[in-house]
């Protein structure tokens, strides 16, 4: 399907407010995607998430698996030549979804039933629930 481009910066503004990051600083070198440890599990590469946000393709970004797979490991942030904090951007999208949809991405019931280190549980709850 052809994406009809039009002025569409609502999502971008909200994500900027949450994350404090300037998405247009990215010049699409792809270094984030080249080094992302979760890259193989993702449906969109990290640079594609930014690209889609840059061109205003909201729907693709809000429905992707990628933002939920980002574990905030900061590998991309540490190496980004333009100093874009991608980990913050991903969190921005996640928080936008959690806040607007008001429902958990994973509920506590969906988590594995085995003894886990408390930090694993708390971490998952923080990232996946409202």
Partner 1 sequence: MRIGVFICHCGRNIAGVVDIKALVDRVSTLENVVYATNEMYLCSDPGQRKIQEVIKEFKLDRVVVAACSPKMHGATFARAIEEAGLNPYLIEIANIREQCSWVHQDLRKIATEKAFKLIKAAVAKVALAKPLEPVYVPLTRKVLIIGGGVAGIQAALDIANGGFEVYLVEKSPTIGGHMAQLDETFPTLDCSACILTPRMVEAARHPNIHLYTYAEVKQVEGVVGSYKVTIEQKPRYVDPEKCTGCGDCAEVCPVIVPNEFDQGLGGRKAIYIPFPQAVPAVYTIDLEHCLNTEKLIVCEQCYKACGPKAINYLMGPKEIEIEVGAIVLATGYDLWPIENLREYGGGEYPDVINGLEFERLLCSSGPTGGVVRRPSDGKIPKRVVFIQCAGSRDPKHGCAYCSKICCMYTAKHALLYKHAVPDGEAYVFFIDVRAAGKRYEEFVQRVMGTDGIKYLRGKVSKVFQRNDKLVVWGVDTLSGVAVEIEADMVVLALPIVPSQGTKELAQMLKAPTDEYGFLSEIHPKLRPVESSMMGIYLAGAVQAPKDIPDSVSQASAAASKVLSLFSNKQLALDPIKAEVDLEKCVGCGECAKVCPFGAITMKKRLDKKKRKYAEVNKALCQGCGCCMAACRKEAIQVEGFTLPQLRAQIYAILDAKPTKVEIKKKEGGNEDKTAIVKPR
Partner 2 sequence: MAEKGKQTMEIAYFPGCTLKNTAKRLETSALGVAKLLGLDLRELPNWTCCGTCFSLAEDNLMKQVAPIRTLSRAASLGYSVITTLCSVCYNTLKQADLFVKSDPKRLKKINTFMEEEANYEGQIAVKHFLTLLDELGEEKIKEAVKHNLNGLKVGCYYGCLLLRPQSIAIDDCEQPQIMERLMKALGAEPVYFPYQVECCGSYHTAVHPEIVARRAYRILENARENGAEIVVTSCPLCYFNLKDRQKNIKEIYSGFKPMKVSYFTEIMADAFGLTKILENG
Query: What is the contact surface with partner 2 in residues (CB under 8 A)?
Result: 17-20, 37-38, 40-41, 69, 71-75, 77-78, 85, 87-88, 91-92, 95, 106, 110-112, 115-124, 126-128
Q: How far apart are CA 25 and CA 52, in angstroms?
A: 14
Q: How far apart are CA 17 and CA 113, in angstroms?
A: 36
CB of 99 to partner 2, least distance (A): 10
* H or E element that contains 101: helix 86-101
Q: Binds 50, which of partner 1, partner 2, none (CB < 5 to 8 A, cut-off by type)?
A: none
Q: Which is closer to partner 2, CB of 56 or CB of 123?
A: 123
Query: What is the contact surface with partner 1 in residues (CB under 8 A)?
Result: 27-36, 39-40, 44-45, 47-48, 75-76, 79-83
Q: Which is closer to partner 1, CB of 17 or CB of 55?
A: 55
Structure tokens at 67: 């933002």
Sequential DSSP letters for 41-97: G-SS-HHHHHHHHHHT-HHHHHT-SHHHH-----HHHHH-TT---HHHHHHHHHHHH
CB of 110 to partner 2, least distance (A): 7
């Amino acid at each position: 399907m052809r994406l009809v481009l039009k002025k569409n910066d609502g999502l971008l503004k909200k994500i900027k407010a949450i994350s404090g990051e300037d998405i247009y600083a990215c010049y699409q070198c792809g270094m984030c995607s080249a080094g992302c440890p979760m890259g193989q599990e993702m449906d969109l590469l990290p640079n594609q998430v930014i690209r889609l946000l840059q061109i205003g393709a909201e729907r693709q970004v809000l429905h992707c698996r990628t933002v939920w797979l980002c574990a905030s490991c900061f590998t991309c942030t540490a190496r980004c030549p333009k100093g874009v904090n991608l980990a913050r951007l991903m969190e921005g999208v996640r928080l936008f979804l959690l806040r607007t949809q008001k429902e958990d991405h994973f509920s506590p019931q969906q988590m594995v039933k085995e003894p886990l280190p408390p930090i694993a549980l708390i971490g998952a709850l923080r990232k996946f629930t409202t």
